[in-house]
């Protein structure tokens, strides 16, 4: 029993050790990879303004849109920098759109393919327009992207993924199983799961 308590203690402690979670100042800049984000050490200075535009989703005739972000930089300069994970303005974080980034999404900083992160903790999450990938077909949809701060693993928030998380909180899992219209409540349960 003591062994399990110590393991739980060290697991919780491990999350708190990442500078991005403990530093009071979030360094503005461009993250080449997830490790730079975790360490709060962007390798590229943010010297151009962050710009945004509305990206539509939901198919023909839909008025749904989501704000997507990019950096106001020349394409050739952006290509020279290469693929990036995201960027920070010193207050907000902007991450890539999808778990399928390497295959389907261009993640150059001049492309409007970055979205403002809603929550940073043991999991980070944000909504992003998904217009490619194996499950989206041809209609752009809005999905919640979840990133594990410990591993950098990226998942889309789904009922099955949420159930895997909720195993750690059996009462919340049972409540979710009884929830009607589960898809409409995924983020609500994710937020509840992340409460300490």
Q: Are 118 and 194 within one domain?
A: no
Q: 91 and 178: one domain?
A: no
pTM: 0.84
pLDDT at 8 exceeding the cut of 80: no
Examine the domain organization and report whether 164 and 148 are in the same domain: no
How far is residue 160's CA from residue 166's CA, in Å, rounded to a whole number?
10
Q: Per the structure block, which two tokens stand in for 68? A: 């997507």
Within this chain, do residues 181 and 87 fall inside the same structural domain, yes or no? no
Q: What gap in Å lies between CA 125 and CA 146, rounded to an integer?
A: 4
The DSSP element (H or E) to which 26 belongs, if any, is none
Q: How far is CA 36 from CA 27, 88, 126, 148, in A?
A: 10, 11, 19, 14
pLDDT band at 196 (very low <50, low <70, confident <90, very high): confident
Q: What is the pLDDT of residues 25-79, one digit of tens each?
A: 999 999 999 999 999 999 999 999 999 999 999 888 889 999 999 999 999 999 9
Domain match, 39 and 113 both: yes
pLDDT tens for each residue of 59-73? 888 899 999 999 999
Chain-centre distance of CA 120, in angstroms? 9
- Please tell me the least confidently modeled range out of 3-7, 112-116, 138-142, 187-191: 3-7
Clarify whether residues 42 and 88 are in a common domain.
yes
Determine the Cα–Cα distance for residues 98 and 101; give it in Å rounded to an integer: 5
- Parent domain of 188: 157-196
Say if strands 114-116 and 93-96 run parallel, antiparallel, or are unpaired: antiparallel
What DSSP line would sit under 41-86, residue for residue? --SB---S-EEEEEEE-SSTT---EEEEEEE---HHHHHHH---SE
- For the chain, the domain total comes to 2
Residues 187 and 149 in one domain: no
| Cβ atoms of residues 142 and 67 within 8 Å | no
Question: Does residue 147 share a domain with residue 171?
Answer: no
Radius of gyration of the chain (CA): 18
Q: Are residues 55 and 146 in the same domain?
A: yes
- 106 and 44 assigned to the same domain: yes
pLDDT digits (tens, 9 = 90+) for 81-124: 998 999 999 999 999 876 554 444 557 889 989 999 999 999 99
Residue pLDDT, tens place only, 151-175: 999 999 999 999 999 999 999 999 9
> In this structure, are 179 and 91 located in the same domain?
no
Q: Are residues 17 and 104 in the same domain?
A: yes
Q: What percent of the chain has pLDDT over 70?
A: 83
Q: What is the pLDDT of residue 6?
A: 40
């Amino acid at each position: 029993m003591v062994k399990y308590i110590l393991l739980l203690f060290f697991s919780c402690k491990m999350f708190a050790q990442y500078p991005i979670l403990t530093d009071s100042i979030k360094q503005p800049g461009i993250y080449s990879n997830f490790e730079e984000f975790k360490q709060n050490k962007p390798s590229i200075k943010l010297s151009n303004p962050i710009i945004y535009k509305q990206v539509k989703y939901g198919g023909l005739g839909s008025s749904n849109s989501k704000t997507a972000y990019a950096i106001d930089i020349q394409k050739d300069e952006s290509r020279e920098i290469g693929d990036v994970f995201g960027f920070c303005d010193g207050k907000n974080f902007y991450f890539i759109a999808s778990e399928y980034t390497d295959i389907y999404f261009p993640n150059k900083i001049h492309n409007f393919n970055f979205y403002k992160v809603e929550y940073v903790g043991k999991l980070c999450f944000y909504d992003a327009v998904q217009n490619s990938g194996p499950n989206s077909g041809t209609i752009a949809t809005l999905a919640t992207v979840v990133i594990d701060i410990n591993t950098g693993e990226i998942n889309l928030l789904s009922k099955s993924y949420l159930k895997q998380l909720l195993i750690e909180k059996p009462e919340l899992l049972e409540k979710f199983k009884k929830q009607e219209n589960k898809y409409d409540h995924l983020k609500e349960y994710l937020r509840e799961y992340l409460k300490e």
